[in-house]
Structure 1
């Protein structure tokens, strides 16, 4: 599998230090890729389950061993890793997995000249300007006309909830990393206030991620069931809940509808906060909802911001259907580093 991207000019290796290792590390899966030279796409993409490996180093070595088995024996000279956590110091702890590591030690262990770490949604944001129609689907509302411009926002319900942005400047696109998924989730009506009141019995702070993610969907389902007077003794997984919604389970279907409603409100708030000209929806959950998402209250709730309803009514929303785009963003971040 390959992912196209804009390459760095220059000879193979040289100052750019090819080959490159790129990765998108989430709470459930680690996706690795390989960039073999300037202008080359991300190739040899593999998805490794995080729980199967003791550490990020172990997973990276397993990936490199697989490449060696395919005849790609060179060791990477530079790496760019997108991680589902905040990048603040040498010590990195993944928010929703057991992996923790020292940035400097990982660089030494992999024998790298450079190791670039960035938030996973910083990487995803950097991929937005280059997305093609084959990698996206239009969401009801105004269509994206021409190339994206200005400030772009991206929100991604996956294992956790990622939020990022990218802004167009005279020097190119600059990412706006953050941890917006941990912002407090706000209710917009009495029913949602009841849901949040139930959730606060378990969590003193109900962030957006507590409902709008793979780890949050079981909580949202349990709160919907409680408020509907049908509390369940069994805590469903996100996978089970989505399957039962598809099969016609009323509470699970209500949970999906409420998920889309909350997501629309949250996305509208992010758009206002960033002054976004376009909002992209990423992550692995929404593409699985199919027509349920496109027929949901998402768009109506996105625009339901009182005096700024007309403002948001002109902002397109785009669904990212390609789950590997963050790898191209990670490669682009490394390109900017070596230019």
Structure 2
């Protein structure tokens, strides 16, 4: 039997790992810009770990994956899955969206890889939702079927932003005036942090002096700018409302998971915020969402873990079919 690998590909980095005994090992990270094609990076990984017997792999990649042709959104790499499989000499190659990989990681994470926020308990094989505020706003659902876990793809980050209190309306009006529409992604993302900050500055009639998401989050966490502080406080509350909407959409008794770069930067502040209070503020359905747990993903390799979970599920399915 040959070796297997998994990869997590973003716009800047590609992370690869060897699969050994059902686990990931020998993780290597490379800059995408150092390689003309994705197969060059994979071949470099083989050389670096001195393993040239790969027979199968799974790649989670930051772009839509709807067929054989794959073209990255925020990088120049594009390839045919069939041609890549042939060039690498693989028997099996699976290419999935990076957030699909994140979703598949969720049922495999243990209590050391997540931080629970508030109460509730997960039901085994119950529906799961995950969202991740970062450059954009990724959303995915996961449901159990007789064939194993399946993702329910969609564009949940682009739903309408739903204000629930007066400060939300300030943000909503700012975006409506600027864009003609207020989407969840324009609030719950890196640029969303800046949008919120600018909206609150405009409402107070003052000049916005912080221009980058990192500037707003740093000033808010350090409490050196009152509007930045208000921004991150409101951001956490809005995430709570959004999370409970996902819970209601698909009865996510398996839990709601939160990842993404923005949330990781806010971790301690986020854990002490009113996120869970707003999650449970669903009026006559508060009793419904209170039973649903919410988790912050605390596993830095969850993209690779998810690609592994997908690869193992596909491998098991093939064995069952034989």
> Shorter-chain TM-score category?
0.7 to 0.9
Number of the residue aligned with 1:76:
54
Identify the match of residue 161 of structure 1 among 129, 132, 137: 137
Contiguous gaps of at least 5 residues in structure 1: 1-12
1:123 CA drift (Å)? 1.6
* Distance (Å, rounded) in 2 between the aligned partners of 1:173 and 1:210: 30
Indicate conservation of the 8 Å contact 2:8/2:16, yes or no. yes
Distance 1:233 1:319, change over 3 A: closer
**1:311 aligns to 2:288 (yes or no):** yes
Alignment correspondent of 1:56: 38
Query: Is contact 1:121-1:177 (8 Å) kept?
Result: no
Q: 1:62 to 1:213 in 2, by over 3 A?
A: farther
Would the alpha carbon gap of residues 179 and 20 (structure 1) be closer, same or farther in structure 2, given more than 3 Å must change?
farther
Which residue of structure 1 lines up, in the alignment, with residue 195 of structure 2?
219
- Post-superposition offset of 1:49: 4.2
Q: Pick one of 16, 20, 31 that aligns with 2:15.
A: 31
Q: Equivalents in 2 of 1:156, 1:254: separation in Å? A: 21
Query: Which residue among 238, 242, 249 is the counterpart of 1:273?
Result: 249
Equivalent residues of 1:283, 1:323 under 8 A apart: no
Q: Which runs of 5+ in 2 are unaligned?
A: none
CA distance in 2, matches of 1:333, 1:77: 16
Shift of 1:327: 1.4
Query: Secondary structure of 1:210's partner?
Result: coil
Question: 1:7: which partner in 2?
Answer: none
Shift of 1:78: 1.8
2:29 paired residue number: 47
Q: 1:239 aligns with which of 202, 214, 221?
A: 214
Equivalences for residues 1-339 of structure 1 within 5 A: 13=1, 18-36=2-20, 39-50=21-32, 54-67=36-49, 72-140=50-118, 142-144=119-121, 148-232=124-208, 235-236=211-212, 238-248=213-223, 249-277=225-253, 278-338=255-315, 339=318
**1:234–1:283 Cα change, 3 Å:** closer
CA contact (8 A) 1:86 1:178 kept: no
Q: Deviations over 1:119-172 (max 9, x none)?
A: 2222222222221111111102x1436x74311111122333221222233443
Q: Do the aligned partners of residues 114 and 172 (structure 1) sit closer, same or farther apart at CA in structure 2, a change above 3 Å counting?
A: closer
Change over 3 Å in CA distance of 1:73–1:130 after alignment to 2: closer
**TM-score (norm. length: structure 1):** 0.82
Give the deviation of 1:43 after TM superposition.
Answer: 0.9
Between the aligned partners of 1:92 and 1:285, the Cα distance in structure 2 is 27
| Shift of residue 324, structure 1, vs aligned partner | 0.9
Note closer, same or farther for the CA distance 1:205–1:91 as it changes in structure 2 (3 Å cut): farther
Q: Aligned partners of 2:200 and 2:40: how far apart in 1?
A: 40
- Give the Cα separation in 1 of the matches to 2:205 and 2:186: 21
> TM-score, normalised to structure 2's length?
0.86
Query: Aligned residue pairs: how many?
Result: 314
Asked if 2 retains the 8 angstrom alpha-carbon contact of 1:42 and 1:328, the reply is yes
Partners of 1:189 and 1:209 in 2: CA distance = 18
